[in-house]
Structure 1
Amino acid sequence: MDTATTRSVRATPRDWLALAVIALPCLVYAMDLTVLNLAVPQLALDLSPSASQLLWIIDIYGFMVAGTLMLMGTLGDRVGRRRLLLIGAAAFACASGLAALARSAEQLILARALLGIAGATLAPSTLSLIRNIFLDDRERTFAIGVWIACFSSGAALGPLVGGVILTYFSWPAVFLAAIPVMLGLLVVGPLLLPEFRDESAGRLDILSAAQSILAALALIYGMKHVAEHGPGVEAFAAIALGFVVGALFVARQKRLADPMIDLVLFRQPGLGAALAINVTAMLGAMGIFVFISQYLQLVLGMSPMEAGLWTAPSGVCFAIGSMATPALVRRWRPVDVLSVGLVLATLGFALLTRLDAGAPLPVLMGAIPLICLGLAPVGTITTDLVMRLAPPERAGAASAVSETSFEFGGALGIAVLGSLVAASYRVAMQAVAPAGFPTDLLGPAQRTLDAAVIASAKLPEAVARPLLDAAHAAFGRAVDYAALACVAATLLALLIARTRLRRI
């Protein structure tokens, strides 16, 4: 039986210490969404992945998290949220070790997929524990703000941490950093975290989880195949398969007595809108920083440490914005705070379209605070809304749905924007064929910027410079298109907020 009903409303010092224990693994698991951003050049040199494989290495983690989060939410309700958190921490440490030992693109993709499944056990467990520990509305809002700050800051600080590690070690070391944190959680978790479970939790629906993962991966595979090779039968077959399996997934949820996605939750006014805002806002937040990191290293020639330092303000701004949100919503309506933030983020993404206009660093330093401060309130406000609307006994399922929208939005952003950038770069480079450039190096250089930089380093300056200049220009235009896509996504989130949340 859930013991939260027998506790006093106000949180104790032990509860706040438990929040710190909960927040740290969230920081680490969110970092794994972006920690590889700065390692892309090293990965390309060491493992020689294709453009599609490189995108899978980056975002398979997010898709596996999103595809299994709801299953893990139900599992946490059944076996106990603390127990699942500790199991997930042990699995995350093991999968991190496997990723560090990978010696091919295929092995690293598999290890990242296992990391995603392990990471999916952490998010619903931590958020539902917060829901059960903090019963006072104001304290719970603040605690969720801390949780969102750790999630957002972890994702934003991933490149900085990766840059520091890559300054002294090779790319496998970026995975090893998570292991001590997870081992620490295994030690202190049983001492500080209470256990909660739902005795009436539904059964595990593994088939629905498999359907959701297959639908998402098939759609993204088709999208990436189009980006790398152009339209074709294989790509359209994959996209069609994704839509068919997705339709079967939705139909199954409507039939089941205990669905993986509790569609009853969506009958609450504003809940569906909150989830849609999460997806559209995170699409830009996660996706664009992958290409900012590549731009700094591969176009401007920065070291991983330098690139990490230039993107470090993103984590600070996300943390400040998330922690300030509870105070802001006590003075102004949540929908107004959300709307102002989305306007700021839209301006930031619009400013990024001028990244290659001759003064990239001033543009970047103007855009990053606008984007991060603008998007920071989104997670706190929408997550608190979802958790308020959900019945307490469905805390695990509700937290999983909420977190799924974050993870799916972030992974979708990397996939969609990555496909857009890859396709734009490939089309722009098709007509580029400098005299004297070896044909065996030209093909890969026309598909990815990484390959162009690596190939140019093997050739004399006079031969390499024309292609490298063309590659830099093509990638800059591709980032412009990605930023414009982020503008459209953020404006859509603003429209949803103003039309669907005005009365919430």
Structure 2
Amino acid sequence: MDEQRVSHSPDLRAWLGLLVILGPVLLVAMDGSVLFLAMPKVTEALSPTADEALWILDIYGFAVGSLLIAFGSIGDRYGRLKLLVIGAAVFGVGSAGAAFATSPELLVVFRALMGVAGATLLPSALAVLSELFTDPRRRAQAIGIFAAAFAAGFAIGPVVGGQLLSRFWWGSVFLINLPVVLLFLILAPILLREVRATRPGRVDALSVLLSAAGLLLTVYAIKHAVAKGLTATPAVTGVAGIIILGWFARRQRRLEHPLIDFRLFRDRVFTIAIITGLLPLAAWSAAAYLAGIYLQSVLGLSVLHAALLALPGAAVLTVTCIVTPALVGRIGKRAALITCHFCVATGLLLLLPTGVSGGIGWYIASTVIAGIGYGISFSVVADTAVAAVPTERAGSAAAIAETSNEIGNALGIALLGSLAALIFRLHGPDLADTLDETLQIPDLAPAVMGNAKTAFVNGLHAAAITAGILHGALGILALRWIPRTLPNTGDADAEPLAQDAAEESSVRRTPPRPCL
């Protein structure tokens, strides 16, 4: 890739290429959230246990998050377009298998396969996009559109799922992926160019295994402890997961070409930005999942009605993501990051007045105000990651940003969802592990039904309070850590966050500037 190529305005092919890239981006984001409203239907059809239901939701995000860094490096070495095409094809196969799964175990397997494929798509898609748009301002616009599409995918996933479930069976939420995948496979080789790094190094297979195994073992321990109590099994697996993750982190510091370049995290702004990619997604995914059950199983709304109530928050999130690059150019990243966390914290705490007998207005207000923070988080993280590193590391840098999103998405359901499940288990009628399973028991007494619903709402409130406090604390940290004046990422003489002495002498393309 010629780093000294003169920048030029993108032609029609570049914009068409952007549209083609947005297809799989939307799918990967949507499939992280499309099951939130569908889970009552899935529970009715496949009868998963409480553990299986959480894994159906979680395994996709964990597969994506565990492998994003690895596939970012693989794309750097072997070609990002090639990886995009392979990943899209596998994503289609996994979607078809998930749609016709006949048991919870099969659905978990196919969701995992979709997650593996999704991990190939996101970092390579952003790297190919950066190659299409060589002018810094135009590239910033394209990245803003990319981030908005990713945000919109997460936001409209439950809405799309609700619309489909009101007319078709639950597997339809996966079949909608197939036309988009087919169109991408036809147009991508025509409109997109192959991109490789000039010095990619090799992919460390042991690091890939350590990151995936450590994450899965740790989360399994937490989920198992919440569902069954703290026994020897979760204790051993939890300790093993933490040790493996520590081993992974130490190994990265010794590798010449690490999966995660921890030098990036020496900069406090970059660190807070990446955490901003993780924590809001954790809060959003947990709130969306729990609120979907609340609206349907507690308030008794139809899946279509619940989907329509999610539209205002989805619209605010998407619009915020689009306008954030221009806003950051005026108020700066510091103000944007601080605003992000306090908006999310405020929105989450607005869920506290919800109750068994009502709370729709509070739910809508919560999604709208928190949606502002979620939209800011998408845009700030994407811009920081791509602007921070040399072009030849674009795939790996994009993977760090997207990993924070995907891991946050999965951790939100696994940790905050498990907290809600623990509250339900402690305060509910102790007839089943979940609210939906309890309500399906024949001849359930009204008092018992009310007790179960109240216990679930208490769990929802506990998750909202926990996430709200974390966001408030991170907002205060951003207020103290981030300097009032930051270098403009679009300036040619600004020092990149990840630049070391050896890279200072190399010729690199000017990083993207926020849209004006």
Q: TM-score, normalised by structure 1?
A: 0.93
Residue of structure 1 in register with 2:437 after alignment: 451
Residue of structure 2 in register with 1:332 after alignment: 331
Q: Which amino acid aligns with 1:449?
A: L
CA deviation string 1:62-104 (max 9, x = no partner):
0110000011101111121111111111010001111112111
Q: Which amino acid aligns with 1:350?
A: L
Is structure 2 residue 390 aligned with structure 1 residue 391?
yes
CA deviation string 1:401-425 (max 9, x = no partner):
1111111111111111111011010
Determine the C-alpha separation between the residues in 2 that align with 1:121 and 1:4: 24
Residue of structure 2 in register with 1:349 after alignment: 348
Provide the aligned length of Structure 1 versus Structure 2. 485
Residue of structure 1 in register with 2:34 after alignment: 35
Is structure 2 residue 254 aligned with structure 1 residue 255?
yes
Residue of structure 2 in register with 1:423 after alignment: 422
- DSSP 3-state at the match of 2:99: helix
Give 1:194 shift: 1.8
Is structure 2 residue 138 aligned with structure 1 residue 139?
yes
Question: What are the residue-to-residue correspondences of 1:275-286 with 2, within 5 Å?
Answer: 275-286=274-285
Give 1:277 shift: 2.0
CA deviation string 1:147-173 (max 9, x = no partner):
111111111111111111111211111
Determine the C-alpha separation between the residues in 2 that align with 1:265 and 1:328: 25
Question: What are the residue-to-residue correspondences of 1:164-203 with 2, within 5 Å?
Answer: 164-203=163-202
Determine the C-alpha separation between the residues in 2 that align with 1:374 and 1:256: 36
Determine the C-alpha separation between the residues in 2 that align with 1:496 and 1:115: 36
Counterpart pick for 2:471 among 490, 493, 500: 490
Determine the C-alpha separation between the residues in 1 that align with 2:104 and 2:13: 44
Residues 492 and 128 of structure 1, relative CA distance in 2, 3 Å threshold = farther
Question: What are the residue-to-residue correspondences of 1:15-34 with 2, within 5 Å?
Answer: 15-34=14-33
Question: What are the residue-to-residue correspondences of 1:241-320 with 2, within 5 Å?
Answer: 241-268=240-267, 270-320=269-319
- DSSP 3-state at the match of 2:440: helix
Q: Which moved more, 1:338-347 or 1:383-392?
A: 338-347
Determine the C-alpha separation between the residues in 2 that align with 1:374 and 1:271: 18
Determine the C-alpha separation between the residues in 2 that align with 1:448 and 1:147: 37
Q: TM-score, normalised by structure 2?
A: 0.91
Is structure 2 residue 27 aligned with structure 1 residue 8?
no
Determine the C-alpha separation between the residues in 2 that align with 1:214 and 1:48: 28
Residue of structure 1 in register with 2:155 after alignment: 156
- DSSP 3-state at the match of 2:37: helix
Q: Which amino acid aligns with 1:492?
A: A
Residues 450 and 136 of structure 1, relative CA distance in 2, 3 Å threshold = same
Determine the C-alpha separation between the residues in 1 that align with 2:81 and 2:139: 18
Give 1:249 shift: 0.9
Where structure 2 has 5 or more consecutive residues not aligned to the other structure, the ranges are 487-516
- DSSP 3-state at the match of 2:336: helix
Give 1:11 shift: 2.3
Asked if 1 retains the 8 angstrom alpha-carbon contact of 2:345 and 2:468, the reply is yes
Asked if 1 retains the 8 angstrom alpha-carbon contact of 2:207 and 2:248, the reply is yes
Give 1:269 shift: 5.3
Residues 147 and 203 of structure 1, relative CA distance in 2, 3 Å threshold = same
Where structure 1 has 5 or more consecutive residues not aligned to the other structure, the ranges are 433-441
Asked if 2 retains the 8 angstrom alpha-carbon contact of 1:89 and 1:118, the reply is yes
Question: What are the residue-to-residue correspondences of 1:60-71 with 2, within 5 Å?
Answer: 60-71=59-70
Determine the C-alpha separation between the residues in 2 that align with 1:87 and 1:53: 29
Question: What are the residue-to-residue correspondences of 1:73-152 with 2, within 5 Å?
Answer: 73-152=72-151
Residue of structure 1 in register with 2:500 after alignment: none
Give 1:467 shift: 1.7
Higher helix proportion (structure 1 or 2): 1
Determine the C-alpha separation between the residues in 1 that align with 2:315 and 2:232: 45
Give 1:247 shift: 1.2
Asked if 2 retains the 8 angstrom alpha-carbon contact of 1:288 and 1:483, the reply is yes
Asked if 1 retains the 8 angstrom alpha-carbon contact of 2:356 and 2:454, the reply is no
Determine the C-alpha separation between the residues in 2 that align with 1:369 and 1:88: 34
Determine the C-alpha separation between the residues in 2 that align with 1:274 and 1:326: 14
Determine the C-alpha separation between the residues in 1 that align with 2:141 and 2:363: 30
Determine the C-alpha separation between the residues in 1 that align with 2:15 and 2:470: 36
- Structure 1 runs (4+) deviating above 4 angstroms are none
Asked if 2 retains the 8 angstrom alpha-carbon contact of 1:278 and 1:378, the reply is yes
Q: Which amino acid aligns with 2:436?
A: D
CA RMSD of aligned residues (A): 1.6
Give 1:216 shift: 1.0
Counterpart pick for 2:450 among 433, 453, 469: 469
Asked if 1 retains the 8 angstrom alpha-carbon contact of 2:7 and 2:135, the reply is no
Determine the C-alpha separation between the residues in 1 that align with 2:293 and 2:390: 44
Sequence identity (%): 36
Give 1:475 shift: 0.5
Give 1:59 shift: 1.1
Determine the C-alpha separation between the residues in 2 that align with 1:128 and 1:381: 17
CA deviation string 1:257-284 (max 9, x = no partner):
2221122333455322221221122211
Q: Which amino acid aligns with 1:489?
A: L
Determine the C-alpha separation between the residues in 2 that align with 1:67 and 1:377: 24
Asked if 2 retains the 8 angstrom alpha-carbon contact of 1:342 and 1:490, the reply is yes
Q: Which moved more, 1:477-486 or 1:280-289?
A: 280-289
CA deviation string 1:136-155 (max 9, x = no partner):
33322222221111111111
Question: What are the residue-to-residue correspondences of 1:218-257 with 2, within 5 Å?
Answer: 218-257=217-256
Give 1:119 shift: 0.4
Give 1:378 shift: 1.5
- DSSP 3-state at the match of 1:6: coil
Give 1:7 shift: 4.9
Residue of structure 2 in register with 1:435 after alignment: none
Give 1:300 shift: 1.0
Q: Which amino acid aligns with 1:448?
A: T
Residue of structure 2 in register with 1:438 after alignment: none
Residues 269 and 426 of structure 1, relative CA distance in 2, 3 Å threshold = closer
